Structure 1
Amino acid sequence: MMTVLNCVLYEHNIWLVLVAALVCLAGSSATIRLFSRAANTTGLQRAGWHFLTAVAAGSSIWCTHFIAMLAYDPGAPVGFDPVMTIVSLLIAMVGVQLGFVLAASGLTRLAPALGGAVVGLAIVAMHYTGMMAYRVQGIISWEMNYLVASILLSVVLSALAMHLAMRRVAGSDKYWATGALVLAIVCLHFTGMTAFRVSPMLIEGSFSNPAALQALALAVAGVALVILGAGVASYLIDDSMRAESYEKLRQMAMSDSLTGLPNRASFNDHLDHELDWVADTGGKVALIGIDLDRFKEINDLRGHAIGDEVLQVLARRMTKLLGEGEFIARLGGDEFAAVSRMRGRGELADFLSRLEASLFKPIRLDDFEVIPGASLGVAIYPDDAASKEALVNNADLAMYRAKADIARAVCFYERSMDEIVRARRNLASELREALEANQLDIHYQVQTSISTGEIRGYEALLRWEHPQRGFIAPAEFIPLAEENGLILQMGEWILRTACARAASWEPPYKVAVNLSPVQFVHTDLPKLVADVLAETGLAPERLELELTESTIFADRERSLYMLGQIKALGVNIALDDFGTGYSSLDTLRAFPFDKIKLDRSFMSEVESSPQAKAIIRAVLALGKSLDIPVLAEGIETHGQLALLTSEGCDEAQGYLLGRPAPLQQIITSGQLTLAGGDVSGQAVVTVRAEDIAVSLVARSA
């Protein structure tokens, strides 16, 4: 082979051969890269890349052949048939495109090799069509062994090139593919030219112009390189656009769309990096969990648009305060997290101080001002945790402790917090067991008319007597049930049990049942109430459902719509805890409540606080103007009862009138009987209706 190559090179202009080799190498490299891009796309993009690949490959193959032919010196005048020359270029482009499409089709495992073979045949067809366009004054003959060898070399090496280009097992495969394609083109040309024999027949007056042919060859090379440059530029531009698109997508994936802060995914990556830094340097990292205190209130009272604006303002503030080694991200909703490398307690204290100042600084929006506030929980790695998961969990524990302690906004993790969490988890598990084992009970507290002393009804109150721990306050286990989803099952059980028992009461007093906000979110409440009434036989007007205004604010439109459906059944709706939390006159205007329950906190201060007395008078006046009865909770003294009487309050409820008691005790007291049932049990500690009347007469006297 080397003898053949040396012989052929001897007959060529060495400089033009080098130009042809440069075009061949550049063209093959560009072809493999463009083909790889085509193989990795689909649809119209793949068709476009295949076209560019075919143009680059066909033009480089044709130019390599044409320049090498111009460099060839047969010893006789030469010329070219323009038509056949152009046809050879078209054959090269169309043929290699068919081969590339087949190689990237994935039809079979042999598709790359078969496609490469087609490319090799296209190179062969282009070469020998170009030779047919070659006009030389002499007798042409062919050495068939070399001709066949040139065809075999082109087909085999092209098949190898496409196989390597599609394999992509190693990063060097594309370079091996480029080399195989270069060899396919070069071996075809020089082996084919070895098969080419010319016996000159000089005709007087005929001659070639070597300088003109060389100039033409260089012009062709220049055009080929321009075409290749266009293909490579397309590749690079696409690469750049893909890189930019990838970076944009990465930024979108790692950033919070509302605030622009890093999101949870970015936070996890950063925290992993910081823990690696701790392992490498022996330093410490503080994780700060941040939860806004009044964000729900802002959202409910001002709307979600204002809530979003508050989050954006806080994000800008916290971004500006960050220093070296400090990081902050939004994890979702009103929850943020900050990370700070610790070089000393003083630097951490300074960072926490800056965070606290930015979170508690008032925000002016339109014509009102809000102070969001926040609870911050701090855990330090590796002091407080041995893993990332434990660190995050401990920061959350500290944050919830800060949220529960109104006296401080920042709380550091302490080992005892784990014990509290374990205790709550155990209690939640025991509550689930108590619900399944029917260990819960309902006590009833009387609701009485102040003017007549008559009993109007009873409020059903859930009670839990733990076998080992004894009585557990509802304020302890109800929030736990709401956190763990048990409140749905408990709420349905209370409603069904209270209605079933009340259906047999004589006299037919009302029964009041409290609703949890969770029930509004997760259940079809109107259907549940309708089903319970139908199953228990309780008259709808004897059921009164109590809910707080915060329950409505969670999803105002949906809640009011559901209340309207329940009221359409004939059920009474009472607004509980009025005067605290969310108390909006607009809510009273938007829905026709059947009762307003004045919160017990006002009654505890009414005899000593003029402000509490003024609020009670205002609520009672409001109820009268709207024609809505008002029930005062927490009546514990005769003085409180006398005040309500003088102010014209409709109903009262409290320890003075009757403590919550099991149904059997109320039956034993004679306040209730069960239709068709036996009356037995212990006495109940309560104030009877006639006692109220005696008290009122005594006070008036």
Structure 2
Amino acid sequence: MTVLGCVFYDHNIWLVAVAALVCLAGSSATIRLFNRAANTTGLQRAGWHFLTAVAAGSAIWCTHFIAMLAYDPGAPVGFDPVMTIVSLLIAMLGVQLGFILAASGLTRLAPALGGAVVGAAIVAMHYTGMMAYRVQGLVSWDMDYLVASIVLSVVFSALALHLAMRRVSWADKYLATGVLVLAIVSLHFTGMTAFQVSPMLIDGSFSNPSALQALAIAVAGVALVILGAGAASYLIDGSMRAESYEQLRHMAMSDSLTGLPNRASFNDHLDHEIDLAAETGGKVALIGIDLDRFKEINDLHGHGTGDEVLQVLARRMNKLLGEGEFAARLGGDEFAAIYRMQGPAELPNFLSRLETALFKPIRLDDFEVIPGASMGVAIYPDNATDKEALVNNADLAMYRAKADITRAVCFYERSMDEMVRARRNLAGELREALESNQLDVHYQVQTSLTTGEIRGYEALLRWEHPQRGFIPPTEFIPLAEENGLILQMGEWVLRTACARAASWEPPYKVAVNLSPVQFAHTDLPKLVMEVLRETGLAPDRLELELTESTIFADKERSLHMLRQIKELGVNIALDDFGTGYSSLDTLRAFPFDKIKLDRSFMSEVESSPQAKAIIRAVLALGKSLEIPVLAEGIETHGQLALLTTEGCDEAQGYLFGRPAPLQQIVTSGQLTLTGHNVAAQAVVIVRAETVEMNLIARSA
């Protein structure tokens, strides 16, 4: 009896090579598909586990089958078809259970336990396949090799899935592939060493080697097709993931309206350019861009037109960009550009191209707009040594350009920091002034031009600084709006003016200006009602003044609030009339009690026919709408004579009286404080001061 082992592979070594190729390709696809399954959930995980099981089971079974066909026992062989198919099913179902367990995360040992199940499935497939192997001879087994084959398969498979799930380094998946190949190969060849055959030629016939080889090639081909399908699924999914990731990344880093890079992309690019400049000793120019007339475009033509303007400007800027040039939309009408400076002479050319793109007219339907822009330039490292300072300095330069109507581009200068610090200091002092009662309300008389009688007084906030002296409202009111103090100041002025007016004799009206911030951040009708109730002032003696820009911030909401206030009996005056661009529409939408003609027309009325024509038109409009017109800024008798001739109802200005403290007006005899109302006023002032203290406490 001749004992035959694996030496018989020498006759079909090329089939062994095919088996090894199938095993390697299958193991590689299996590990990748398993990783994909482990990183998904739900139905996707189930689908990837199925593909993993098909690929792994096919690779293991085909490796075994091809290697068995390469094995020459020296006797006729055959295969039981039922057991052969059963071995394939065992391979697929067994490894699927193992992979599901390995990816379950039930315990830290789940990958190793799942790998052990895969190893056991490989063992079960191999020895079931050996049961399907029919050879004319006496078969015996070496139990030591048989047990060793089982141990090797289970141990190496457990290690393979442990490495696959660990993913500590990029090499883990390659190690996992190699160990899985080792698990399959060690099982087969060790098991075949345990398999011993003593040929018994019963009928004297031998199997057809050529037919068996052809069958092996067919099996290998089918295996590779199956593995190719699994690999293709993996690659297609990976490509789709990469494409989806790129789409999401583009969405996250791009402005949805204009397609330009957004603020996040801008920050990344600026960081990169600064790092590059630091390494190479180069320079980077940051240009802050703010459109000049974008709000006007929105208000006149609607937000849809505004969006279209932004898109046109974005396309223009994107088209002009070259190497080392970058533009982004930061939000609203705010843009930014980054320029990698090659030489000092090149930056002006880039700024000129930007200016051309931003100032070139845009034709939309039947009208044309010129957006224009203000640009501030700061250079790294000349003006700043880090990104935050660079951005801040570019903003400072941009605000300087916005304030200077003679130039569109402004470069950062160190003095700008001093101006910012001065404004910050003044803002702190304004907060202290509110807390220490440095603020006061002065009153300017409003006079009837028909009778010469006093109609009322406008309450005007004044600030007498202990060291700086008088600070004009045009300086500290915008500062209060920027720093969140305007709400406290506005409420304090309203309460103080109403409380003092409640004691006036005769009972003149008092006019109080409203800030746009009060419309946006407070329940104004409720506040007015509370102030009237607490001060005892009759509603018809209070006149609230507001500008058109206040209404346009949120026209529908503003007009609704004004109607509520008017229902209280309070008068509403439209201030600075004639300087806006929707005045007629505003008058049509809301029945104002008074129109205040802007003082800018008065300064030119004696020398400008156009200003005189505008005044006549406004006065005629007021008469046709039955709305009284008050002219502001009357300083000369010539101005007064013209207004009287044209039929203006009321006037206000230095010619009639400068703003003065209440006590000075009382001393002049223009009004008196009644005894009853003086007492009432004292109570109201105490209440107003209490409210003021509460506001200050809340702000602190």
Same fold (TM over 0.5): yes
| 2:5 and 2:192 in contact (8 A); partners too | no
Match for residue 426 of structure 1?
A: 425
Gaps of 5+ in 1: 681-701
Secondary structure of 2:592's counterpart equals coil
Comparing 379-388 and 496-505, the one that deviates more: 496-505
Q: Distance in 2 between matches of 1:479 and 1:152?
A: 83
Counterpart in the other structure of 1:61: 60
The whole-number CA distance in structure 1 between the counterparts of 2:346 and 2:113 is 68
Larger mean CA deviation between 344-353 and 401-410 belongs to: 344-353
Q: Which residue of 2 aligns with 1:622?
A: 621
> Structure 1 residue 491: deviation in Å?
1.6
Counterpart AA for 1:403: K
Q: CA deviation at 1:123?
A: 1.0
Tell me the distance in 2 between the aligned counterparts of 1:348 and 1:448.
58
**Farther-moved stretch of structure 1 (586-595 vs 495-504):** 495-504
Q: Which residue of 2 aligns with 1:178?
A: 177
Which aligned pairs between 1:13-162 and structure 2 lie closer than 5 A? 13-162=12-161
Which whole-Å CA distance do the structure 1 matches of 2:161 and 2:499 have between them? 80
Which letter does structure 1 place at the counterpart of 2:670? Answer: Q
- Conservation of the 8 A alpha-carbon contact between 2:51 and 2:230: yes
Contact kept in structure 2, 1:103 and 1:111, CA below 8 Å: yes
The 1:9/1:587 distance shift into structure 2, 3 A limit, reads: farther
Shift in Å, 1:540 = 2.2
Query: 1:260-317: CA deviations, max 9, x gaps?
Result: 2222222222222222232233222222111111111111111111111111111222
3-state SS, counterpart of residue 13 of structure 1:
helix
Q: Which residue number in structure 1 is paired with residue 201 of structure 2?
A: 202
Contact 1:668 1:679 in 2 (8 A): no
Q: Which moved more, 1:240-249 or 1:134-143?
A: 134-143
Partner secondary structure for residue 327 of structure 1: strand
Cα offset for 1:383? 1.5
Determine the structure 2 residue equivalent to 1:240. 239
Q: Which residue of 2 aligns with 1:610?
A: 609
> Any idea what the Cα deviations from partners look like across 1:25-63, whole Å, max 9, x if unmatched?
110011001111111111221111111111100100111
Secondary structure of the corresponding residue to residue 233 of structure 2? helix
Q: 1:640-689 deviations in whole A, cap 9, x for unaligned?
A: 22222221111111112221112222222333333436989xxxxxxxxx
| Separation (CA, whole Å) in 1 of partners of 2:226 and 2:343 | 63
Whole-angstrom CA distance in 1 between matches of 2:247 and 2:273: 24
Kindly provide the amino acid, as one letter, of the partner of residue 642 in structure 2. L
Give the distance between the partners of 2:530 and 2:373, measured in 1 at CA: 43
The AA in structure 2 aligned to 1:303 is G
Give me the whole-angstrom Cα distance separating, in 2, the residues matched to 1:510 and 1:152. 103
Give the equivalent residue in structure 2 for 1:369: 368
Contact 2:149 2:191 in 1 (8 A): yes
Aligned 8 A contact 2:23 2:63 in 1 = yes
One-letter amino acid of the counterpart of residue 280, structure 2: T
Distance 1:300 1:55, change over 3 A: same
2:212 is aligned with what amino acid? Answer: L
CA contact (8 A) 2:359 2:371 kept: yes
Distance 2:204 2:148 in 1: 38
Query: Matches of residues 452-467 of structure 1 in structure 2 within 5 Å?
Result: 452-467=451-466
User: Counterparts of 1:677 and 1:343 in 2: how far apart (Å)?
Assistant: 79
**Mapping of residues 368-447 of structure 1, within 5 Å:** 368-447=367-446
Corresponding position of 2:689: none
Identity %: 88
Matched, 1:302 2:295: no
Residue by residue over 1:492-542, the C-alpha shift from the partner in whole angstroms, topping out at 9 and shown as x without a partner, is 222222223223333322221111112222222222223333333333222
Q: The residue matched to 1:128 in structure 2 has which SS? A: helix
Partner of 1:269: 268
User: Unaligned 5+ residue runs, structure 2?
Assistant: 680-700
Please tell me the residue identity of whatever aligns with 1:328: A
Runs of 4+ in 1 over 6 A off after TM superposition: 677-680
The answer to whether the 8 Å contact 1:137/1:202 transfers is yes
**Displacement of 1:191 after TM fit?**
1.6
8 Å CA contact 2:79–2:133 kept in 1: the answer is yes
Give deviations 1:296-346, integer Å, cap 9, x for gaps.
111111111111111111122222222332222111111111222333333
SS in 2 for 1:350: helix
Under a length normalisation based on structure 1, what TM-score does the superposition of the two structures give? 0.93
Answer yes or no: is 1:587 the counterpart of 2:586.
yes
Q: Distance in 1 between matches of 2:28 and 2:583?
A: 75
- Contact preservation (8 Å) 1:11, 1:74: no
Contact 1:376 1:411 in 2 (8 A): yes
Shifted more, 270-279 versus 593-602: the winner is 270-279
| Contact preservation (8 Å) 2:4, 2:196 | no
The SS at the match of 1:341 is: strand
Corresponding residue of 1:507: 506
Secondary structure in 2 aligned to 1:337? strand
**Alignment partner of 1:535 is 2:534:** yes
Provide Cα deviations, 1:383-433, integer angstroms capped at 9, x if missing partner. Answer: 111222111111111111111111111111111111011101111111122
- The answer on whether the counterparts of 2:148 and 2:190 sit within 8 Å (CA) in structure 1 is yes
Deviates more, 1:195-204 or 1:53-62: 195-204
SS of match in other structure, 1:48: helix
Structure 1 residues 142 and 619: CA distance shift in structure 2, 3 A: same
User: Displacement, 1:583?
Assistant: 4.1
Which residues in structure 2 correspond to 1:650-661 (within 5 Å)?
650-661=649-660
1:139 maps to a residue whose letter is L
Comparing 474-483 with 257-266, greater Cα deviation is found at 257-266
Question: Structure 2 length as normaliser, TM-score?
Answer: 0.93
**Closer, same or farther: CA 115–645 of 1 in aligned 2, 3 Å:** same
Residue matched to 2:695:
none
Q: Is the 8 A contact 1:607 1:613 kept in 2?
A: yes
Q: What is the alpha-carbon distance in structure 2 between the residues aligned to residue 25 and residue 597 of structure 1?
A: 90
Aligned pairs (5 A) from 1:205-216: 206-216=205-215
- Given that residues 146 and 191 in structure 1 are in contact (C-alpha distance below 8 angstroms), is that contact kept between their aligned partners in structure 2? yes
Q: Is the 8 A contact 1:5 1:190 kept in 2?
A: no
Deviation at 1:5, TM superposition (A): 13
| 2:371 aligned counterpart, secondary structure | coil
Which residue of structure 2 lines up, in the alignment, with residue 690 of structure 1? none
- What pairs up with 1:635-674 in 2 under 5 angstroms? 635-674=634-673
Tell me which amino acid in the other structure corresponds to 1:264.
R
Cα RMSD (Å) of the superposition? Answer: 2.0
Q: Is the aligned partner of 1:448 residue 2:447?
A: yes
Q: Is the 8 A contact 2:440 2:461 kept in 1?
A: yes
In the alignment, what sits opposite 1:475? 474
Distance in structure 2 (CA, Å) of the matches to 1:316 and 1:486: 40
- The residue type equivalent to 1:672 in the other structure is L
Matched residue of 1:668: which SS? Answer: helix
What is the aligned partner in structure 1 of residue 548 from structure 2?
Answer: 549
Identify if the C-alpha distance between structure 1 residues 6 and 21 changes in structure 2 by more than 3 Å, giving closer, same or farther.
farther
Partner of 1:321: 320
